[in-house]
Structure 1
């Protein structure tokens, strides 16, 4: 499955660069916009997904396929959910190549491209979530949750990719150190609840990424408040 990225949010690129959008000069904003266009032209966003019933266990959450996702944080995050969608997405190898080549000659532009790619990943995941949510009418959804959040280890990356047949379907693999290849890629778990979920699972207080959140570092938030 594929998604087309037509335009990236320049303010988000600037936030990833560590610059509050209202403080960015014209030159920096223009560079962010240009890099956003380059990423949109280069990216070949592909994704795959599968849905599983889930069972809460003492040491984590077990998918109906048998895979245990360990950790208390994910278990708490998925409380009240009866199913979980596992998905992955990648911008493709060409984006990694573009960033590496640019960084070797122009570090600032390379940084802007890297941040534009991060913005593209987030926008792509947001679009994927909308498509997935439309498949479960009447349901509620907490934040998507990725390996590396809380106490869910990166070591599950390979198992999630195997569940999704990601190497064949979208060209996404994991290294021996559990880093996704291509680099601008994501694996995630999206809980599905048949009833309304607690408000704190949709705010900064309940977000598993709050400790390293780029939005909060820049003095903002993701817009879900």
Structure 2
């Protein structure tokens, strides 16, 4: 299965997205008194983040099921019905990011830890977006659906467990049995469906 390792410096997070995530959404720019801390947070993150995006294609049975996994609910039906292929994604920044955030919280540098946490959340999202966009360009003959993730709407968070099992030989990611929260925390999963262009969704 494809595994894409990305240099964190190559992941571009739009400034307006970053401002909003860090609590400065209404400001024209990050306030001067916080700028150095944000810059330091970014530097710390770049030193420890190891962005990896994995994906795997599955042929779809009807209803929406594949590899002993069944996608239920209105969200999956809306975006994935009619798909001939579903791509399962997992993106993570690795455990060192969690450790760095926890380290600064322990030291009492809560603002720095908060900024690293916020930037990391966007970094893993934009790592996945980067690979998703590249895949869509390569598959110009197909129409890719809106990307959806477990926990969105009525798509069960429990699907995280099955996704982690798919990629367990390739990446060190786990899931809490009771909550289905992913570990490392800066890890996300998603689905994209593919159908022939101009083919109506059923």
Q: TM-score range by the shorter chain?
A: 0.7 to 0.9
How many Å apart are 1:29 and its aligned residue?
3.3
* Aligned partner of 1:113 among 98, 102, 116: 116
CA contact (8 A) 1:141 1:197 kept: no
- Structure 1 moving runs of 4+ over 6 Å: none
Q: 1:172 is matched with which residue?
A: 173
Measure the CA separation in 2 of the matches of 1:11 and 1:101.
28
The size of the alignment, in residue pairs, is: 192
2:24 paired with 1:19:
yes
**TM-superposition CA deviations, 1:87-141 (whole Å, max 9, x none):** 1011000000001111222111111110010111111111111232234222222
Q: Which sections of structure 1, spanning at least 5 residues, go unmatched?
A: 199-225
1:21-100 pair list within 5 angstroms: 21-22=27-28, 24-57=30-63, 61-63=64-66, 65-100=67-102
Q: What are the superposed Cα offsets for residues 152-195 of structure 1, whole Å, 9 maximum, x if unpaired?
A: 111111111212xx232011111112110111001110122222
CA–CA separation in structure 2 for the residues paired with 1:53 and 1:189: 13
Flag the 1:72–1:127 CA change in 2: closer, same or farther, 3 A.
same
Q: CA RMSD of the aligned region, Å?
A: 2.1
Which piece of structure 1 moves more, 70-79 or 118-127?
Answer: 70-79
TM-score of the superposed pair, with normalisation by structure 2: 0.85
Cα deviation for residue 19 of structure 1 reads 1.5
Evaluate the alpha carbon distance shift between residue 196 and residue 32 of structure 1 in structure 2; reply closer, same or farther with a 3 A threshold.
farther
Verify the 8 A CA contact 1:13 1:112 in the aligned structure 2.
Answer: no
Deviations 1:176-225 (A, max 9, x none): 12110111001110122222599xxxxxxxxxxxxxxxxxxxxxxxxxxx
TM-score (structure 1 length as normaliser): 0.77
> 1 CA distance for matches of 2:33 and 2:131?
32
Q: Note the 1:132-143 alignment, pairs <5 A.
A: 132-143=135-146
Is this contact kept in 1: 2:95–2:184, CA < 8 A?
A: yes
For structure 2, list consecutive stretches of 5 or more residues without a partner in the other structure.
Answer: none
**Matches of 2:57 and 2:181, distance apart in 1:** 23
